[in-house]
A and B are shown apart, each in its own frame.
Chain A
């Protein structure tokens, strides 16, 4: 699949802090890419360089393979910043028209689309209400509509689910999956690993301004956890630790925890086991993204972040 956006070795320094320090990754068309990392890792700064709010100190952003300087493609991006906000005094309809207009759309063209979006988010009745009269959740929905109104090729969402209740969280998740189904490309920045796990095709894990891990979600998980097996069985399983596919084994009465050698096929182990013992449970360990995250970024930092939230 073609890359719609490529970030090439961008660097951004604030004073003595290297907020983003040589980040490179690509976003494939029609996928959801999860930009992961704890708060302050450099996600928002990276996104601000993509959206043209900051100029990178070095490196560049490629849009459909075009490296032309400046944010010439900013009208093709829909951006929902982490710091969300709307003009409180404006009416919903006026505000959405304004957001479309600053993306270069004509009011007459987007007006019918606004109505259908409002219906989709069950906000039809609030069309002429002032923003300040809406609940916080509804304000977020309005802003999300504003992000999508101009029919962007790339949708960038910075922590779209923070501050949402579980119901709205599901609403947003389903919306993102729907958008993907419609063929749109999404760059999703989040520190909620389980959400990223449910949606992302590719992940980019950033810490201290640098990419520490990236690739397809499944590949990443495989590379981290495809090599552990858990087998519950009846019979004498001592032989399991001696199989050629197994690098390290730990067999205790009816349970075996095995670490496979590189490139070994878990199915071969299963066949071998089934020939000699009665297998009651066989599990190829795929560690959660959260586990990988902790493994890479460090337990203490994550714990500190949890406490801070």
Chain B
């Protein structure tokens, strides 16, 4: 037991001292927070201010562009344009009755590439004279950026709202009635669980599921890789013979795996603390924008499931890496061997979108009960759905059995493999190792 502790302690202390650990610990949450904050920021701030010239040949749309920055009085959100608020500074040019708008626009279009910053514009919108009366009329938008779809969509939406309004008023409706007619209805996504609780779902579900699942599996792969490199390092540095003459391969293996696991847990604890400040804020920002409440995910059960499935996933994946380390002689060789295997193990990750949106599909259920894929898939399901307790228990039992078998095989291969410096064994040779050891 003491020996196992010695190995455990060494792995832990040496790893925690590495630069990689410190960088990962600090950078990962920042990166995650950034990834989540950025879309939010872009949504609220856009990418700076846009200066747009509108040449209006109808001469009636002045209000549409100049009053749009005011929030609607009732706080309801209308039109897609308002969900993508690029800050726009509109220069309205009344060209009422202009038949040759293209020609009149020439000097403005020239300003798209004006050297004088104060005259430079980002886009020029042409509204033809028959915009309200002719249903086939087309707007024309000149812009410097080819992919300025946000501004384009916004302008289109603003113009169309006013045009629709005018068309309706043209049919004799008064302004109040038009307002009522044009009021959008919002959609509220509500998920009903088996226990009858109501949970709000929607975009935030997907987002949080994505982030938490990444948090669940990323460390396993990063630290699995770490274990693999460590074992290969021990082989190339020839430390391993001293080790196995003092401790049993199982003590060595378990000490290593748990030592590295402790490092992973340390890191996640740091992340959670940092995350409480950083990414929590980011999540709230993004989710608040989407009009959802994140706190619904911060339930005790989420943490419990996270802890359970994190440990199960970690122990499953890490064995594969330990075997990789034991049978390979260089990092490169090991990575070539492990890359395809990791891809297979990560299958649920690639199916994440499908699993989150259809957590009770037969595919999701099948994956969640299967060995190797179970922990990750079942965690996703507990997050966005309410899988029956019997299935959760099955996943846990299957995973424990998988881990036991993996450990047994790994210890055997480890015993023979760590002392073999020759070429990588073939599958039949591996089988012989398992039988011999």
**Inside 8 A of B240's CB, which chain A residues have their CB?**
85
**Inside 8 A of A51's CB, which chain B residues have their CB?**
245
The answer to whether B239 touches A74 (Cβ under 8 A) is no
Bitwise interface map of B from 1 to 33 toward A, beta carbon under 8 Å scored 1, else 0: 011011101100110001000000000000000
For the complex of A and B, 4 pairs with smallest distance between CB atoms? A85-B238, A101-B6, A81-B241, A51-B245
The answer to whether B239 touches A102 (Cβ under 8 A) is no
* Chain A stretch 50-64: residues in CB contact (< 8 A) with chain B: 51-53
**Inside 8 A of B242's CB, which chain A residues have their CB?**
79, 81, 85, 99, 143, 146
Residue of A nearest to B17 (CB): A89
Query: Residue B246 at the A interface, CB < 8 A?
Result: yes
**Inside 8 A of B203's CB, which chain A residues have their CB?**
none
**Inside 8 A of B18's CB, which chain A residues have their CB?**
89
The answer to whether A86 touches B3 (Cβ under 8 A) is no
Query: Residue A163 at the B interface, CB < 8 A?
Result: no
Q: How far is the CB of A152 from chain B (nearest CB, A)?
A: 11
**Inside 8 A of A143's CB, which chain B residues have their CB?**
242
CA distance A75 to B239 in the complex (A): 17
Query: Residue B158 at the A interface, CB < 8 A?
Result: no
**Inside 8 A of B10's CB, which chain A residues have their CB?**
87, 90, 98
Instruction: Please give the number of chain B residues whose Cβ is less than 8 angstroms from any Cβ of chain A in the complex.
Output: 23
* Chain A stretch 78-133: residues in CB contact (< 8 A) with chain B: 79, 81, 83-90, 94, 98-99, 101-104
Most-contacted residue by chain B among A52, A101, A143, A146 (CB, 10 A): A101
Query: Residue B136 at the A interface, CB < 8 A?
Result: no
The answer to whether B245 touches A74 (Cβ under 8 A) is yes
Q: How far is the CB of A182 from chain B (nearest CB, A)?
A: 22
Residue of B nearest to A75 (CB): B246
* Chain B stretch 187-238: residues in CB contact (< 8 A) with chain A: 234, 237-238
Given pairs A48-B245, A51-B245, A74-B245, 14 additional interface contacts (CB within 8 A): A74-B246, A75-B246, A79-B246, A81-B242, A83-B241, A85-B234, A85-B237, A85-B241, A86-B239, A87-B10, A89-B18, A98-B10, A101-B6, A102-B3
Residue of A nearest to B13 (CB): A94
Q: How far is the CB of A237 from chain B (nearest CB, A)?
A: 58
**Inside 8 A of B238's CB, which chain A residues have their CB?**
81, 83-85
Query: Residue A10 at the B interface, CB < 8 A?
Result: no
Query: Residue B397 at the A interface, CB < 8 A?
Result: no
Query: Residue A77 at the B interface, CB < 8 A?
Result: yes
- Would you give 13 A-B contacts (Cβ < 8 Å), ordered by A? A53-B244, A74-B245, A81-B245, A86-B237, A87-B10, A87-B14, A87-B234, A87-B239, A101-B2, A101-B9, A102-B7, A102-B246, A143-B242
Which one of B3, B237, B244, B245 contacts A101 once the chains associate, using CB atoms below 8 Å? Answer: B3
CA distance A223 to B246 in the complex (A): 39
CA distance A86 to B247 in the complex (A): 16
**Inside 8 A of B6's CB, which chain A residues have their CB?**
98, 101-102
Please tell me the size bucket of the interface on A: 20 to 34
The answer to whether B237 touches A88 (Cβ under 8 A) is yes
CA distance A39 to B234 in the complex (A): 24
Q: A87-B14, A89-B14, A90-B14 are in contact. Are A103 and B239 (CB under 8 A)?
A: no
CA distance A86 to B246 in the complex (A): 14
**Inside 8 A of B246's CB, which chain A residues have their CB?**
74-75, 79, 99, 102-103
Residue of A nearest to B10 (CB): A98
Residue of B nearest to A54 (CB): B419
Q: How far is the CB of B173 from chain A (nearest CB, A)?
A: 79
The answer to whether A53 touches B2 (Cβ under 8 A) is no
**Inside 8 A of A86's CB, which chain B residues have their CB?**
237, 239
Q: A53-B419, A101-B3, A103-B246 are in contact. Are A87 and B237 (CB under 8 A)?
A: yes
Q: How far is the CB of B56 from chain A (nearest CB, A)?
A: 71
CA distance A286 to B242 in the complex (A): 39
Query: Residue B243 at the A interface, CB < 8 A?
Result: yes
Q: A53-B419, A102-B7, A104-B3 are in contact. Are A77 and B245 (CB under 8 A)?
A: yes
**Inside 8 A of B247's CB, which chain A residues have their CB?**
102
* Chain B stretch 401-426: residues in CB contact (< 8 A) with chain A: 419
CA distance A90 to B233 in the complex (A): 13
Residue of B nearest to A44 (CB): B241
Most-contacted residue by chain B among A98, A104, A146 (CB, 10 A): A98
CA distance A94 to B10 in the complex (A): 9
**Inside 8 A of A52's CB, which chain B residues have their CB?**
245
**Inside 8 A of A98's CB, which chain B residues have their CB?**
6, 10
CA distance A51 to B9 in the complex (A): 24
CA distance A16 to B95 in the complex (A): 97
The answer to whether A104 touches B2 (Cβ under 8 A) is yes
Q: How far is the CB of B119 from chain A (nearest CB, A)?
A: 62
Most-contacted residue by chain A among B7, B234, B246, B419 (CB, 10 A): B246
**Inside 8 A of A94's CB, which chain B residues have their CB?**
13
Bitwise interface map of B from 237 to 276 toward A, beta carbon under 8 Å scored 1, else 0: 1111111111100000000000000000000000000000
CA distance A247 to B234 in the complex (A): 60
**Inside 8 A of A79's CB, which chain B residues have their CB?**
242, 245-246
CA distance A181 to B372 in the complex (A): 58
CA distance A68 to B396 in the complex (A): 40
CA distance A75 to B248 in the complex (A): 12
Bitwise interface map of A from 17 to 52 toward B, beta carbon under 8 Å scored 1, else 0: 000000000000000000000000000000010011
